[in-house]
Structure 1
Amino acid sequence: MVRIEMEEHQDEVPNPPNPSASAKTTTDSSSGPSTSNASKNPSDGYETASDGELGDSADECQENPDQHSEQGERIATISEDEIKEKALAEANNAKLAGNKLFGEGKYEEAISEYDRALNIAPDVPVAVELRSICNANRGACFLKLEKYDDTIKACSKAIELNPAYVKALSRRGEAHEKLEHFEEAINDMKKILELDSSNDQAKKTIRRLEPLAEQKREKMKEEMIGKLKDMGNSLLGRFGMSVDNFKAVKDPNTGSYSISFQR
């Protein structure tokens, strides 16, 4: 039988072990000769970690500041994403509430819900479509309330977010027509045809508005000429003349005009 004795000192740092005296072996009369290899096999006695093993274990237990920083950033990112998703869901619910109120003819209340959705919606790419729809729906409410300037503003915001938004273009064009902005209404219809060349409603609107736009241009031209005449008369009147004393004569060969004075 082999007995291994080890000394442990709690309060002192042990001296480096002496290989020749690392273990004491004794034998009984029945055990046979002593075995010097007993101290070399850890499984045969009390196992302790070597200095090298302790060093490796200590290194593994040390905290890595970079690792903790990455984990903190990951947690912060997850939390931020969750907040944005929740805000997007709430904004969508507000939009649906606005749609319901619009269907009931409660346009002012519907506008409030669309405004709430726009205020809640996070500034992320996936929310662009929702914001565009809410602005276009606000435009539809203002159109019903005959607030045409507000319709144009709301639909313009929707079109900025989504230039291919046909409904927003159509509503803005209708508001322009109500305000007799015939040129602007025609331009919106032309943009619709660029997006959808088969849109018959846009074609019909253009045919209907073009004569009105021409009439408005002529009317504006006459008003401008009238204002110029009034201004000229106020100046020429000091000299006993008026703009009627001047007549423009067109040269048939060159197409240019010459001004002649008549009393």
Structure 2
Amino acid sequence: MSSSTAPTGFSSYEQPIFPPEEESSLLSQSHAEKASANSTFTTGSYTSALQLYEKALSLCPTYLEYDIAVLHSNISACHLKLSEWKAAVDSATKALDALDRVDPPAPTVVQDITPETKVRIAALQRTGHTLHDVYKLRTKTLLRRAKARRELKTWASLQSAYEDYQALSRPPHQLGSLDARAVREALRELPVHLEEAKNAEMKEMMGKLKNLGNGILKPFGLSTDNFQFVKDEKTGAYSMNMTR
């Protein structure tokens, strides 16, 4: 495939920009595969839909960040349906990263917008999308990532899910009534699950440390049961006593 150089004034932009005719052709092919994937998804054939979305992704010019984000978000939806939680998180994160490149999350003034961001915004407008579309897709994708992180049920993933739900509860995210209720319920329930996961993982870690200690002490006829940690209530420090 041939490609043109970056537009004048955007020479620092590393990704090649395709000529208009080639860009339009590639995008049309990508959209056709995406349409097939959408239809396949509605039939419940999520693995087949996933493959079609990935084909659409391979055809889409990489600088068309919004279209790339849509595909990654739809891939995340497939992984959710397949209960592939980690893959769902990874794909949703790729979609959110692409959206952040179009609409940087940190507040900026016009003169601080980089040439790369200008190229991406121009591509967004050229393909008929707006920043409002970006906001809507970000909300949808964040909901998908939060759900996947919650389903992973580890201490770290639950904490990350809680942060996603906190973000969703604040502007500029605009939620429908069902999603808003789901977010409120998640924010109410997650602290309990977080504490449970924390305690379970700490217990598992202490068990592994105990087994390791027993392996080291066994040749000496000792075990971790021979040692007792006593807390000094005045200082909060611990001392170790040996018992028999």
Q: Deviations over 1:11-59 (max 9, x none)?
A: xxxxxxxxxxxxxxxxxxxxxxxxxxxxxxxxxxxxxxxxxxxxxxxxx
Q: Secondary structure at the match of 1:254?
A: coil
> Would the alpha carbon gap of residues 113 and 234 (structure 1) be closer, same or farther in structure 2, given more than 3 Å must change?
closer
Aligned to 1:111: 50
SS in 2 for 1:146: coil
In 2, distance between residues paired with 1:192 and 1:174?
12
Q: Give the counterpart of 1:173 among 143, 146, 149.
A: 146
User: Are 1:189 and 2:126 counterparts?
Assistant: no
Q: For 1:120, which of 59, 68, 72 is the aligned residue? A: 59
**Please, what TM-score do these two structures have when normalized by structure 2?**
0.66
Q: Distance in 2 between matches of 1:257 and 1:101?
A: 61
| Higher relative contact order, structure no. (Cα contacts within 8 Å, ≥ 6 residues apart) | 2
1:77-118: per-residue Cα shift (whole Å, max 9, x none)?
xx9221112222332232233222222323233223322221
For residue 231 of structure 1, the aligned residue among 181, 187, 212 is 212
Structure 1: unaligned runs, 5 residues or longer: 1-78
Q: Deviations over 1:153-184 (max 9, x none)?
A: 22121111124612222212222222223233
> Structure 2 stretches of 5 or more lacking a match?
1-17, 101-134
Q: Work out the CA distance in 2 between the residues paired with 1:112 and 1:239.
A: 58
**CA-based RMSD:** 2.3
With over 3 angstroms needed to count, the CA separation of the structure-2 counterparts of 1:109 and 1:236, relative to structure 1, is closer
Task: Give the drift of 1:131.
Answer: 0.9
Change (3 A) 1:197 1:112: closer
Aligned to 2:187: 206
Number of aligned residue pairs: 183
Provide the rounded CA distance (Å) in 1 between the counterparts of 2:188 and 2:72. 28
Question: 2:62·2:68 contact (CA, 8 Å) conserved in 1?
Answer: no
TM-score, structure 1 length as denominator?
0.62
Counterparts of 1:138-157 in structure 2 under 5 Å?
138-157=75-94
| Distance (Å, rounded) in 2 between the aligned partners of 1:150 and 1:118 | 16
Deviation at 1:217, TM superposition (A): 1.0
How far, CA to CA, are the matches of 1:231 and 1:112 in structure 2? 45
C-alpha separation in 2, matches of 1:242 and 1:91: 63
Q: 1:51 aligns to what?
A: none
Q: Does 1:86 align with 2:25?
A: yes
Asked if residue 95 in structure 1 is aligned to residue 34 in structure 2, the reply is: yes
- Identity level (%): 30
Query: Which structure has the bigger radius of gyration?
Result: 1
Partner of 1:26: none
